[in-house]
Amino acid sequence: MLKSYLTKSKVHPAPLAVFRIVFGLLMLVALIRFWTNGWIYSLYIEPDFHFKYYGFSWVKGLGNYTYLLYSSCIIAVVGIILGYRYRLSIILFFLLITYSELIDKTTYLNHYYFTSCIAFLLCFLPAAHYFSIDAIQKEKSIDAIPSWMVDGIKLFLCIVYFYAGLAKINSDWLLEAQPLSLWLTSKYDIPLIGEILKYRWVHYAASWSGMLYDVFIPFFLLYPKTRSIAFVFVILFHIMTKIFFPSIGMFPYIMIFGATIFLDVQWHKNQLEFLRKFAAKFSQKFNFLKLKLTKANVLFKPKQYILPLFISFFIIQIFLPFRYLAYPGELFWNEQGYRFSWRVMLMEKKGYTTFKIKDSINQKTFYVDNADFLTPFQERQMSFQPDFILEYAHYLANHFEKQGHQNIQVFADSFVALNGRPSERFIDPSTDLNQEIESFKHKKWVLPLKDEIHGL
Amino acid sequence: MKKLISIKVVLLSLILLNCTSDSDTIDVIEETELNIEEQQTEFDRSSMLSFWADSIIIPSINSFYIELNTLNAYATSFTSNPNSGNLNQLRDQWLKTYQKWQHVEMFDIGVAEEIYFKNRINIFPANVQLIENNISNLGFNLDDSYNFAAQGFAGLDYLLFGIAQDDDTIIAKFSNSSLNYDSYLAAIISKMIDLTISVKSDWEGGYRDSFIQSTDNTATSSINNMLNDFVFYFEKGYRANKFGIPAGVFSGGPLPDRIEAYNGEIYSKILALESTTVIENFFNGVSYNDSNITGLSIKNYLDFIENDVSEKLSERINNQLQAGRNKIDQLNTNFKIQIEENNHEMLLTYDAIQSTVILLKVDMLQKLNVSVDYADADGD
């Protein structure tokens, strides 16, 4: 059955074309917003020092050329939207946006990672073989593609939701209503509903419904009879998250518009027909697209390697979020295996970490003012994430060795509070971090959380 | 088909929503009567802000202003008639005014922030070289930012205690008008008065009203600004400036010449204790004019958020503040001597204060869900 699905089942290319256009438009807005908010400068140019993903220290900041990178991204996105030189555009977009994310892991967000993943998948999909400038120019269009090519996108969205839901099945989220209790209480200034956000029952209701939504929405979106109502829920849910948490930026829109891929093929055809009529007002050439809306049975034949590639991608996606099981200790505390796992808005963590530098030759010790080296944003992220703390400790050791100090030892004085618990000492203050090496191994110098969080 | 159109409408309106969501929403200020029973489910932020403005900030500034004028009068007496009695009267008043200043420094908000009030009144140590240059060359402009270290209390500290080894020589220097010490003294005090008038009239003008109405939880709201000022003052103005820097925490060796009121020496502890009181009073909502009167405070705010928690954070903060005070009590009146003779005690005091920093910056700000750095970036 699976074999016949993979080889025989086919679907109209309209949903993929709509997805390409929608994704491109979202990226266009996101890029312009990123630029106009001044974040290219403040996140990628201003910092003297960038935190690197393990194994990606070769990715360098580009200074003012970062603007060139983002300009190229925007041009590539326009290519994606129009379906003009699509293959080149999407590959360029994927490489450039991923490169910029790799410059500094301080900026890591699940939806940036999501963006890169989608862009990666789109590199291999025939999203511009239909309803695109490319199709008009080649005077060649298709009207059927293998189902798995559209279903792959759906599967990926389902994984995002489902894993985000599974991550919420823990004692803090469900039994303590944390961190929502902390977050919602402080949203007293939201008009109309702000008044009720201080009540405990609201925190519990929000926590439980958030978990149930994430776990079950993929199934309701997949099942035809519940699809429409599920989509309404998608819209409502993400609007609520945008109201409560304005700082989540583009994420709600990406999820809402991304979920249109689940809608019926007819809906997508209608959108494209609407677009075609609009475009035809400017150029008769676009009427070419109309023809292909009605002609039948030109099936797109994907290259041999794409299906195995997709299968590998999904195997990684399914197992990667569980890598935390390989580490001892509390995931939220140690954050070993936390990223790239769709743990979205899951915890409230605040830290205060300062570094004691000891010149062990002349026994001189002093504390570092983090503001001399890090932006406030970097300092905040560094203060509660062990891999940041280690990387920064090495950077400091290097810096002070260059200044002429010898046999430098670096000790962290670090306190972290998680989900409303009292702050606890986070890093073993007797560990010379300059002697510790970053790796995928368990970081023994992170002191254990004096509490247990149960659940997945 | 109808359903499909409606989805399109919703999606379109979402795009519009995105375009407008960054702009400010309309404020709805509700004046609610506060009573004690209500405190469990209601917290009147506006009333807390009124208390801060009317019972702490404005009275502190007024009181500082009054002492400054007396300081000015005594300075005139001293310069017109330089003798030991007038010098001591002026020094006493300098200390009194300096103590009042401790009540004002924290409120780095409104005009105070715009004119760098705290940087101009209390940057220490003073730049002695700069002051002597200004005095001998005249033609100085105290509004230039490089002159910030040549004025304010540290400047006065140098003029009244540091220009010579003994009082007779100091008096002699002030007696000789051609040396310009008298006119520089007058210029510094007059500048302090001018700056204070700007801040005072700002609060007495429209600022007070806009201050108490800004109750939202945003980067620019009064509550968040005040919490930031409080935490920043505690960490920088109090912990680092008065203890950490002179004790050598950031330099690898003690720097006794970095204490507050360095030339006066014996006043450093009095000023530090005064500042401790200011911090305790602000946290607990104690009125400036009458310590028996209390109003809504950060402590109440924390207790309101922690109404179902038995071990209150506010209690832990107060205990740790007390632990810090106990350490300070045991220090030498003269921090310079303390640092030179037994810096270890100074470092232990610093550690006790540092523990409070963690409670404030980590625990308190997490409970209140207020950000201190306002890093402008998305989160998820």
Q: Is residue A111 part of a domain?
A: yes
Phi/psi class of residue B7: alpha, beta or left (left: φ > 0; alpha: ψ in -120 to 50)? alpha
Asked whether the beta carbons of residue B316 and residue A379 sit closer than 8 angstroms, the reply is: no
Length of chain A, in residues: 456
B378 pLDDT band, cuts 50/70/90, is confident
Same domain, A293 and A407: no
pLDDT at B20: 40
- Count chain A–chain B contacts defined by CB atoms under 8 A: 123
Same domain, B210 and B63: yes
Q: Which of A183, A191, A249 sits opposite B378 (nearest CB)?
A: A249
ipTM of the complex as predicted = 0.91
The last residue of one of the domains, among B162, B196, B215, is B215
Q: Does A107 touch chain B (CB under 8 A)?
A: yes
Q: Does A93 touch chain B (CB under 8 A)?
A: no
Q: Is residue A295 part of a domain?
A: yes
pLDDT at A110: 95
The last residue of one of the domains, among B165, B185, B215, is B215
Q: Is residue B21 part of a domain?
A: no
Task: Count CB neighbours of A316 within 10 A.
Answer: 10
Same domain, A126 and A64: yes
Q: How many folded domains does chain A comprise? A: 2
pLDDT at B17: 46
Same domain, B76 and B152: yes
Same domain, B211 and B264: no
Asked whether the beta carbons of residue A186 and residue B379 sit closer than 8 angstroms, the reply is: no
d(CA A101, CA A120): 14
Q: Does A42 touch chain B (CB under 8 A)?
A: yes
Is the pLDDT at B15 greater than 60? The verdict is no
Q: How many folded domains does chain B comprise? A: 2
User: Searching chain B, which residue's CA lies closest to the CA of residue A187?
Assistant: B217
Same domain, A273 and A406: no
Q: Is residue A79 part of a domain?
A: yes
pLDDT at B24: 36
Same domain, B239 and B342: yes
Same domain, B59 and B111: yes
Chain B contact set for A200 (CB, 8 A) = 308
> N- to C-terminal Cα distance for chain A?
33
Query: CA nearest A392: which of A405, A383, A402, A404?
Result: A383
Cβ atoms A79, A88 nearer than 8 A:
yes
pLDDT at A406: 83
- The 8-class DSSP code of residue B294 comes to B
Q: Is residue B177 part of a domain?
A: yes
Q: Which of B45, B252, B379 sits opposite A365 (nearest CB)?
A: B252
pLDDT at A363: 84
d(CA A218, CA A223): 9
Q: Is residue B326 part of a domain?
A: yes
* Mutation target vs B (from A18, A103, A196, A247; most B CBs, 10 A cutoff): A247
Q: Is residue B230 part of a domain?
A: yes
Same domain, A271 and A397: no
Same domain, A291 and A381: no
The last residue of one of the domains, among A282, A306, A322, is A322
Asked whether the beta carbons of residue B373 and residue A183 sit closer than 8 angstroms, the reply is: no
Phi and psi dihedrals of A297, rounded to 5?
Answer: 65, 45
- Dump pLDDT digits (tens) for B214-260: 998 888 899 999 999 999 999 999 999 999 999 999 998 999 999 99
Chain B contact set for A239 (CB, 8 A) = 14, 17
Tokens of B368: 């209140």
Same domain, B362 and B245: yes
Same domain, B296 and B326: yes
Phi and psi dihedrals of A151, rounded to 5?
Answer: -65, -25
Chain A contact set for B359 (CB, 8 A) = 423
Same domain, B80 and B180: yes
Q: Does A237 touch chain B (CB under 8 A)?
A: no
Same domain, A53 and A135: yes
Q: Is residue A443 part of a domain?
A: no
Same domain, A11 and A116: yes
Within the 5-34 window of chain A, which residues sit less than 8 Å (CB to CB) from chain B?
A: 29
Same domain, A28 and A112: yes
Of chain B, the percentage scoring pLDDT greater than 90 comes to 81
Chain A contact set for B358 (CB, 8 A) = 352, 415, 423
DSSP track, B76-124: HHHHHS--HHHHHHHHHHHHHHHHHHHTTTT---THHHHTTHHHHH--S
Chain A contact set for B365 (CB, 8 A) = 350
- Dump pLDDT digits (tens) for B29-70: 333 334 443 445 678 999 999 999 999 999 999 999 999 999
The last residue of one of the domains, among B215, B242, B276, is B215
What CATH code is carried by the domain that includes residue B176? Answer: 1.20.1420.20
Asked whether the beta carbons of residue A231 and residue B17 sit closer than 8 angstroms, the reply is: no
Q: Which of B316, B357, B375 sits opposite A380 (nearest CB)?
A: B375
Average of per-residue pLDDT across B352-371: 95
User: Searching chain A, which residue's CA lies closest to the CA of residue B3?
Assistant: A228
Same domain, B206 and B221: no
Q: Is residue A66 part of a domain?
A: yes
User: Searching chain B, which residue's CA lies closest to the CA of residue A375?
Assistant: B375
Q: Does A313 touch chain B (CB under 8 A)?
A: no
The mean pLDDT value of chain B amounts to 89
d(CA B161, CA A36): 54
Q: Is residue B187 part of a domain?
A: yes
Same domain, A297 and A373: no
Q: Is residue B2 part of a domain?
A: no
B81 pLDDT band, cuts 50/70/90, is very high
Average of per-residue pLDDT across B335-343: 97
Cβ atoms A269, A14 nearer than 8 A:
yes
d(CA A299, CA A318): 30
Residue type, B79: T
User: Searching chain A, which residue's CA lies closest to the CA of residue B29?
Assistant: A189
Asked whether the beta carbons of residue B249 and residue A366 sit closer than 8 angstroms, the reply is: yes
pLDDT at B5: 47
Q: Is residue A342 part of a domain?
A: no
- Give the structural domain span for A20: 2-167+264-322
Same domain, B115 and B50: yes
The shortest C-alpha distance from B10 to chain A (Å) reads 8
The shortest C-alpha distance from B263 to chain A (Å) reads 26
Exposed/middle/buried for residue B372 (C-beta within 10 Å: 0-12, 13-18, 19+): middle
- Dump pLDDT digits (tens) for A269-319: 999 999 999 988 888 877 777 755 545 567 888 999 999 999 999 999 999
Pairing outcome for strands A364-367 and A349-359: antiparallel
Query: CA nearest A44: which of A100, A96, A95?
Result: A100
Q: Does A242 touch chain B (CB under 8 A)?
A: yes
More confident residue, A217 or B137: A217
pLDDT at B39: 43
Q: Residue-wise pLDDT tens for chain A (456 aa)? A: 889 999 889 999 999 999 999 999 999 999 999 999 999 999 999 999 999 999 999 999 999 999 999 999 999 999 999 999 999 999 999 999 999 999 999 999 999 999 999 999 999 999 999 999 998 888 888 889 999 999 999 999 999 999 999 999 999 999 999 999 999 999 988 988 988 999 999 999 999 999 999 999 999 999 999 999 999 999 999 999 999 998 899 999 999 999 999 999 999 999 999 999 998 888 887 777 775 554 556 788 899 999 999 999 999 999 999 999 999 999 999 999 999 999 999 999 999 999 999 988 888 899 999 999 999 999 999 999 999 999 999 999 999 999 888 899 999 999 999 999 999 999 999 999 999 999 999 999 999 999 999 998
Chain A contact set for B367 (CB, 8 A) = 182, 420
- Give the structural domain span for B163: 44-215
Same domain, A277 and A369: no
Chain A contact set for B28 (CB, 8 A) = 191
Q: Is residue B226 part of a domain?
A: yes
Asked whether the beta carbons of residue A379 and residue B308 sit closer than 8 angstroms, the reply is: no
Q: Which of B7, B368, B373 sits opposite A231 (nearest CB)?
A: B7
pLDDT at B138: 85
B344: Cβ–Cβ under 8 A, 6 or more apart, which residues? none
Average of per-residue pLDDT across B121-125: 95
Q: Which stretches of A325-385 are DSSP H helices? A: 331-334, 376-382
The shortest C-alpha distance from A167 to chain B (Å) reads 14
Same domain, B251 and B119: no
Q: Does A253 touch chain B (CB under 8 A)?
A: yes
User: Searching chain A, which residue's CA lies closest to the CA of residue B372?
Assistant: A376
Cβ atoms B218, A189 nearer than 8 A:
yes
pLDDT at A291: 58
Same domain, B69 and B111: yes
Is the pLDDT at B335 greater than 90? The verdict is yes
User: Searching chain A, which residue's CA lies closest to the CA of residue B2?
Assistant: A267
Chain A contact set for B316 (CB, 8 A) = 422
Tokens of A326: 């390989």
Same domain, A32 and A141: yes
Q: Is residue B23 part of a domain?
A: no
Same domain, A282 and A407: no
- Dump pLDDT digits (tens) for B191-204: 999 999 999 999 99
Q: Is residue A122 part of a domain?
A: yes
Q: Is residue A240 part of a domain?
A: no
Is the pLDDT at B27 greater than 70? The verdict is no
Whether the bond between B125 and the residue before it is cis, its omega within 30 degrees of 0, is yes
